[in-house]
């Protein structure tokens, strides 16, 4: 397992460099804002003295490089500053809203993998047949609309016309759940309240599915494309000539080598859901990072914008590292070679 450790170290180092780059990018974006952040923060009634004080406190009079230095030092201490919108530390705000978003994204990610990959396998196994054409068309439709459109359609169909699922929220008001992890699906179980868990699960189905739909389509398309290519490989012909069962060839011999090239993109899609979650949260009134993120952006709340983007990017990078490790685990060539490719 030494190569794996080396791979992990290398990926972490690259990710750190990229994260520093991201912080510079976000910092630069935040500083090209027209107008004086101190004036915006204090509102129209502030005195010149108050503004000067805040400018000094925010280091706004220093050179941009010095400002960036202060910013990095603060971030390293886990201090993302105070939100000018809520007047609370940005970290506290994010800690409050992030779990709901992560929960939504994780469930959607499970749906993407759990539904998208089998659809792709099916499609590839029956390539050229009716089932294949059906799946290809549906998955193309899936990627062809933004998640908020799917959210609206699903809500109309399965919450209003067929009232199978709730219209909004994470859990019904009648359940009092004390927050431990912030993940309701976990907290309810920690309290041993199975009915509350069921209620939370019932609430998450539609928003997660709306968020997952384009990912499901993408995963199915990618898996199919890679598997169709794999089906032309000599080792598949060998498996067929030995009469291995068609289902085992599909699920095992053709799927596994095809999964490796698909995973990187599936990982990227999964991470992109962190952004798309904003769209679904708005429709289903999901109390996640979305409302906060959009609110702080509309109010030009610099600290909060920078903090939110930084946290999301870090999560994004983390997902990519995990995906890379997963690929290394699945690909024996990487796992057993001395130098990671």
Residues 159 to 198 in contact with other proteins, rule: CB under 8 A: 160-161
Rg, the chain, Cα only: 24
Q: Can residue 83 be called a binding residue for other proteins (CB under 8 A)?
A: no
Return the residues of window 260-299 that contact other proteins according to CB under 8 A.
Answer: 260, 268, 271-272, 274-276, 278-279, 282-283, 293-294, 296-298
For residue 93, the minimal CB distance to other proteins (Å) is 16
- 27 vs 31: CA distance, rounded Å: 6
- 58 vs 49: CA distance, rounded Å: 14
Q: What are phi and psi of 96, to 5 degrees?
A: -75, -40
Return the residues of window 217-256 that contact other proteins according to CB under 8 A.
Answer: 225, 233-235, 237-244, 248, 252-253, 256
Q: Can residue 102 be called a binding residue for other proteins (CB under 8 A)?
A: no
> Which tokens belong to 183?
């993940």
- The structure tokens 């090239």 sit at 261
By beta-carbon proximity to other proteins, the closer residue of 78 and 163 is: 163
Q: Using CB under 8 A, which of 144, 172, 179, 181 touches other proteins?
A: 144
Q: Can residue 64 be called a binding residue for other proteins (CB under 8 A)?
A: no
For residue 205, the minimal CB distance to other proteins (Å) is 18
Q: Can residue 326 be called a binding residue for other proteins (CB under 8 A)?
A: no
Q: Which long-range contacts (CB under 8 A, 24 or more apart) does 291-296 make?
A: 291/97, 292/93, 292/94, 292/97, 295/85, 296/83, 296/85
| Site residue total, other proteins (CB under 8 A) | 77
By beta-carbon proximity to other proteins, the closer residue of 52 and 285 is: 285
Q: Can residue 141 be called a binding residue for other proteins (CB under 8 A)?
A: yes
Q: Using CB under 8 A, which of 110, 140, 194, 322 touches other proteins?
A: 140
By beta-carbon proximity to other proteins, the closer residue of 9 and 152 is: 152
Q: Of 19, 15, 22, 26, whose CA–CA distance to 304 is shortest?
A: 26
Show Cβ contacts of residue 288 under 8 Å, excluding neighbours closer than 6 positions.
Answer: 97, 98, 100, 101, 104, 277, 281
> Which tokens belong to 34?
């027209």
Return the residues of window 13-42 that contact other proteins according to CB under 8 A.
Answer: 14, 17-19, 21-22, 24-26, 29-30, 32-34
By beta-carbon proximity to other proteins, the closer residue of 109 and 187 is: 109
For residue 21, the minimal CB distance to other proteins (Å) is 4
- Count the neighbouring beta carbons within 10 Å of the beta carbon of residue 218: 24
- 297 vs 280: CA distance, rounded Å: 17
């Amino acid at each position: 397992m030494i190569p794996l450790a080396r791979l992990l170290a290398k990926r972490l180092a690259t990710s750190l460099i990229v994260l520093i780059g991201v912080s510079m990018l976000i910092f630069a974006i935040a500083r090209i804002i027209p107008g004086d952040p101190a004036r915006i923060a204090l509102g129209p009634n502030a005195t010149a003295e108050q503004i000067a004080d805040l400018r000094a406190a925010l280091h706004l009079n220093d050179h941009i490089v010095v400002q960036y230095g202060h910013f990095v030092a603060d971030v390293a201490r886990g201090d993302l500053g105070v939100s000018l919108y809520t007047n609370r530390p940005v970290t506290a705000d994010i800690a409050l809203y992030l779990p709901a978003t992560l929960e939504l994204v994780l469930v959607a990610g499970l749906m993407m993998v759990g539904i998208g990959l089998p659809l792709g396998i099916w499609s590839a196994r029956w390539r050229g047949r009716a089932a294949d054409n059906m799946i290809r068309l549906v998955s193309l439709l899936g990627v062809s609309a933004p998640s908020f459109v799917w959210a609206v359609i699903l809500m109309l169909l399965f919450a209003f016309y067929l009232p199978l699922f709730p219209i909004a929220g994470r859990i019904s008001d009648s359940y009092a759940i004390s927050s431990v992890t912030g993940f309701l699906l976990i907290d309810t179980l920690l309290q041993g309240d199975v009915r509350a868990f069921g209620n939370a699960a019932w609430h998450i189905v539609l928003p997660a599915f709306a968020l997952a739909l384009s990912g499901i389509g993408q995963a199915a398309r990618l898996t199919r494309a890679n598997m169709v290519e794999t089906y032309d490989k000599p080792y598949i012909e060998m498996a067929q000539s030995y009469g291995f069962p068609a289902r085992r060839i599909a699920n095992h011999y053709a799927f596994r080598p095809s999964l490796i090239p698909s995973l990187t993109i599936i990982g990227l899609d999964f991470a992109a859901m962190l952004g798309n979650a904003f769209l679904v949260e708005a429709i289903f009134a999901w109390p996640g990072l979305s409302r906060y993120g959009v609110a702080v952006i509309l109010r030009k709340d610099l600290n909060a914008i920078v903090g939110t983007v930084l946290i999301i990017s870090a999560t994004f990078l983390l997902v990519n590292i995990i995906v890379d490790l997963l690929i290394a685990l699945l690909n024996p060539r990487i796992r057993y070679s001395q130098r990671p490719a």
